[in-house]
Chains A and B, each alone.
Chain A
Amino acid sequence: MVIRWFSVLLIFMLANLSRAELVIEVTQGKQSAIPIAIVPFQWQGSTPLPEDVSGVVANDLGSSGYFRVMPEANMVARPTAVDQVSYSDWRNLRQDFLVIGRISQDAGGYAVEFHVLDVHQKVELLRHRVKGKASQLRDISHYISDYVFKKLTGIPGVFATKLIYVTTNRQRDRFNLNYADADGAREQLIFTSKQPIISPAWAPDGKKVAYVSFESGRSAIYFQELATGKREMVLQMKGSTSAPAFSPDGTKLAFVNSNLGNPDIYVLDLNTRKTERLTNHYAIDTEPQWLTDNRRLVFTSSRAGGPQIYELDSVTKAVKRLTYEGNYNARARVTDDGRKLIYVHRVGENFHIASQDLRSGMVQTLTTDTQLDESPSVAPNGSMVIYAASEADRSILAAVSVDGDVKFRLPSKYGDVREPAWSPIF
């Protein structure tokens, strides 16, 4: 018991020592960003709320790059109910949409009723009520953001999703696996080690993560249940065992094993726990990622000299090369609609994130102002890519939209932040 409390305390202390504290900063929004006013929600309780609900919503929508959020100081009125709204006020302020709401106490928790109004059509577009526990005000806020985002853009919002990522100190003798909201808030340490942690990946149900830890002295793949913290060493074979990737149906795990210095792609059946080798080539084969059909994968191979991206059929074992532009293309991810391949692309002496249209083959470099970009992970709605980049001698997280229009950074106060993985939609 004492030991358990001590270890809890120790983890807590370590967490504080190496806290990354990410804060979102939009560096580029869409030209066509929609002007929207989010009026501070009404709260008539006697004590102030622990979270500024409408403030979080404004920050979410603003950071998406799809919206231009009106500064509160410019507002001439602060309606909290539909009958208080004077549409002409907001039209004069050149707003397209208006969000208003009221927060009330609800059985020990809170309930928020919110409305989205179309300023030009002078009509209420939606009215919705959301409830949660006292500790869930921030979840309520992200829920509202998702709801508004979906209604106005047609794209599912990802504000209620999570990130896992690795933080490390300068000496590289402390590695933390962290869990946080997609906007970097509410960071929690879920695993810490003196040895490297790499390649975190989400199970499709969002309840479990896989990652590679070197805690035994060499690489092995572990699963960890998020709700319980329960860990399991799943694979450690001769040589390096790494790059875990769950199939979208959650039945299989693709991974890499190098045996005697020759990394190849394998698949583990999660029901039978049997492994099967999918590639057998003297070159480096690594970084597998499943396509939505649960059958094909993309992976990185040096079989043509430098790293390039290939597609692999896990049944026929047929391999097809996908990338031809440049001498370094690696770590591919595919958007859920199967249309875009996102990967690390060498441009001259730098490394950037590129997007390739899988039908036309067109390649677009998405990032230009960050350095040494790596580890791209696509948001579950296919709109954004989060990645690690080097900035002023540190490694930070940054994000870019799949069309390159929206950019934001998640700088941390200290330490290096690496290897982000964006969760599925819960």
Chain B
Amino acid sequence: MQKNALYKALGLTLGALLVAACSSTGEINEGEASATSTTTQATTSTETAANDASTTAVDTAAVAGEAMDSEMSQAEAALMEQTVFYFDFDQSTIKSDSKAALMAHAAYLAANGSARVVLEGHADERGTVEYNLALGERRGMAVRRFLLANGASASQLEVVSFGEERPVSMGHTEASWAKNRRVELKYQSK
């Protein structure tokens, strides 16, 4: 719970920063130690021995550096693990507890111009098929607007509604319906 609150706080405050200074997040550049010198060293030493001259081998190996996840990027990655966002009945308003994670997705999309995501809108089984198709689309569009406002670009986002046709929970209670009223973020490329 506390962890969640931290992520939320981090997401909300850092989300905006990340949009501005986007290029530093997401990618991990792993440094690699270069150890190309050993074989040349060996041949060099035999040649120099034949000339009876004296040389000293130097250690030319570079140090190995590795980018590590900062608290910020860890929080961001954790937030991005949330890819399903829920809605109230007959509503397409983004709930406040969805915003931190959506901010993180927006920041990621802003930082990774080649990333593409499909926003799949869904409705619960109650009400009519076509109205629910429209409602699913509304929900997808609400998420799209939120992502656009937070740095994603239109070409990265595609909204598809499946209405009530693809429930994740088959029950006929509010607990099931609540799980089915959702938008799923599906990355096509990351």
Contacts and interface: CB of A to CB of B under 8 A. Distances in A.
B190 interface: no
B165 A261 contact: no
A112 interface: no
Contact of A261 (B90, B131, B138): B138
Given A284-B131, A307-B131, A239 B166 contact: no
Interface centre among B133, B141, B172 (most CB of A within 10 A): B133
Chain A interface SS verdict (over half):
strand
B128 A256 contact: no
Given A196-B162, A196-B165, A374 B128 contact: yes
Given A198-B129, A371-B172, A328 B137 contact: no
B166 A196 contact: yes
Interface in A233-287: 239-240, 242-243, 256, 258, 260-261, 263, 284, 286-287
Contact of A372 (B135, B171, B172): B172
B127 A351 contact: yes
Contact of B144 (A261, A302, A371): A261
A330 interface: yes
Interface stretch (A157-165, A181-189, A211-219, A224-232): A211-219
B12 interface: no
Nearest to A243: B130
A219 B159 CA distance: 12
B contact patch SS:
mixed
A240 B128 contact: no
Given A217-B160, A284-B135, A372-B172, A328 B127 contact: yes
Contacts of B162: 196, 214
B33 interface: no
A393 B134 contact: no
Residue among B134, B141, B159, B167 with the highest chain A CB neighbour number at 10 A: B134
- Residue of A258, A300, A372 with most chain B CB atoms under a 10 A cut-off: A258
Nearest to B160: A218
B131 A242 contact: no
A214 B136 CA distance: 14
Contacts of B141: 260-261
A196 B133 CA distance: 11
Interface residues of B, number: 27
A375 B137 contact: no
A176 interface: no
B76 interface: no
Contact of B129 (A284, A306, A419): A419
B170 interface: yes
Interface string B83-101: 0000000100000000000
A266 B79 CA distance: 41
Interface in B149-174: 159-163, 165-167, 170-172
Interface in B33-91: 90
Interface of B: 90, 125-131, 133-135, 137-138, 140-141, 144, 159-163, 165-167, 170-172
12 contacts: A196-B162, A217-B160, A240-B137, A240-B161, A256-B130, A261-B159, A284-B135, A286-B133, A287-B130, A330-B127, A344-B128, A419-B129
Interface of A: 170, 172, 196, 198-199, 214, 217-219, 239-240, 242-243, 256, 258, 260-261, 263, 284, 286-287, 300, 302, 306-307, 328, 330-331, 344, 346, 351, 371-372, 374-375, 390, 393, 418-419
